[in-house]
Amino acid sequence: MTLSTETPPQRVRLSRSQATALITPEQIAASPLARYRTLVDDWDAFAAALGRPLPPCIWANPTRISVAELADLLAEQGLDAQPVPGLPAALRLPEETKAGRNWWYCAGLAHAQEEVSQLPAMLMDLAPGQRVLDLCAAPGGKTAQIAFALGNRGTLVANDIAHARIKALQGNLDRLGVVNVTTTCSDGANWPSASGQFDRILVDAPCSSEGTLRRTPSLLPRLDPDSGLRLGPRQRALLRKAVQRCRPGGRILYSTCTFAPEENELVVADILAEHPGMLRLVPAAVPGFVAMPGVTHWNGRELPPELAHCLRIWPHHRDTGGFFMAILEKDAGCPAEPTPEPAHLDDTDSVEWLAGLNDKYGLSGDYWTGYRANRQTRRGLHLMAADHAPPAVPLAESSGLFFHRTNVRPPKPSTGGALLFGRDITRFGVSLNTQQRDRYLRRETFDPTPEQRAATPTGQIILSYRGHVLGVGVLHRSGVIESLFPSRWSGCAA
């Protein structure tokens, strides 16, 4: 890479209407991004790409639908979904598509996540049985990908420092049916040693987010060429803690969505220097993705040549956002720590409640064999993978999926719980038509068809559309169906 000697430009000033419009090449040239001219292979193409809207992208939930089935379903809806080279589970959607406002999104068949953000889970070399930590996890797309790469079994800890973001994270995990994750709200830079070591750690570090400009054009006037001075110490602290908590022979993936070398290669270089002989950079590559190697010279500083093993995604190469990734492997000869004792969870009354669900919905007696139900709150039961072993510290926000509310009469499966087991029920299920589906998602009361009414006893029911569960409702004696779709999900209404 060529040494950059340009003086960083001043912040560009935009009006509110300009900030929400598409970005022009002239605005890019007048912004702090101009300091990357010597790093980009085609400046004009780079500036033009930042001025185009980011194509929406989704990935298929492997526990509920195949990519081909999802593409067929979208085609019937009139959406021309295109496969994404290098991302076998992903589909690129037409520009105007709002994925979160579609029934298939509500049903947890897919998750919306831009293409470059789907790469970390692919590069972590994940396998069932590994103990994994996602240190900066919200809003949860990468967490869910990791969970499914582990087979929705074992132990994945998803942490975030902000409690409000944990709620969004848990909501996504519930909708997708993830049962092998414990969420925690803690400062990742001070992650406790008592949690033990992990085979894989993801540090998707907070950053200046320059690579997200196509999705958030209003960010342009707030870009600061000195962001690395402000964010760098935090990023180093997170990566330093990940090195401490990584098992010998394990791997850490450090990623950001910014172009700034001060937040990318310089952070990695400093951590390598702090741990001589302990870490090595693993060459990063994604077949099907055009990418650039990491920077080895920047602003008068010569960086270790192995930083070329890092991966830079520039927006103009694949019509994506911008992204950076580095894979660090910890030497297998480093001292190992014993696996800590897992947290104690109360499962004393779970058998009775599970038997009640079996009787109500006609599930087999051994249906819950691969799960572990336990009580974490007075509201009801959580469900986790049978081999999930959350650490005792830090204190968990939630372990597994809140799936059955027992403090109401009659007890009620949560929407996430219904999405998980509803496809296997043999009683108290109703398949909706398109009009009923939309009214259900809008939380309206509606009439069943005569056939539905004749085939279904009154009471609590689980509703589906085209074989895919939507959630819970009540068939009243008066003959109407009441939607119990959660209000916080009601933006999914068609």
Q: In terms of residues, how long is the chain?
A: 494
Q: Is 319 annotated as a binding residue?
A: no
Bridge partners of 200, per DSSP, are 132, 251
Please provide the DSSP assignment of 343-375 as one string.
Answer: PP-B-TTHHHHHHHHHHHHT--TTTTTTEEEEE
Q: Is 221 annotated as a binding residue?
A: no
Cα distance between residue 160 and residue 171, in whole Å:
14
Which residues make Cβ contacts (< 8 Å) with residue 366, sequence separation at least 6? none
Q: Are 253 and 298 in contact (CB under 8 A)?
A: no
Q: Is 62 annotated as a binding residue?
A: no
CB crowding 161-181: b at 16 or more within 10 Å, else e: beeebbbebbbbbbbbbbbbb
Provide the annotated active-site residues.
257
Q: Is 142 annotated as a binding residue?
A: yes
Q: Is 137 annotated as a binding residue?
A: yes
Sign of CA dihedral 329, 232, 224, 57: positive
Closest CA to 412 of 455, 375, 464, 357: 357
Report phi then psi at 447, rounded to 5: -90, 140
Q: Is 160 annotated as a binding residue?
A: yes
Q: Is 187 annotated as a binding residue?
A: yes
Give the Cα-Cα-Cα angle 267, 272, 278 (nearest 5 degrees): 150
Q: Is 136 annotated as a binding residue?
A: yes
Q: Provide the annotated binding site for S-adenosyl-L-methionine.
A: 136-142, 160, 187, 204
Q: Provide the annotated binding site.
A: 136-142, 160, 187, 204
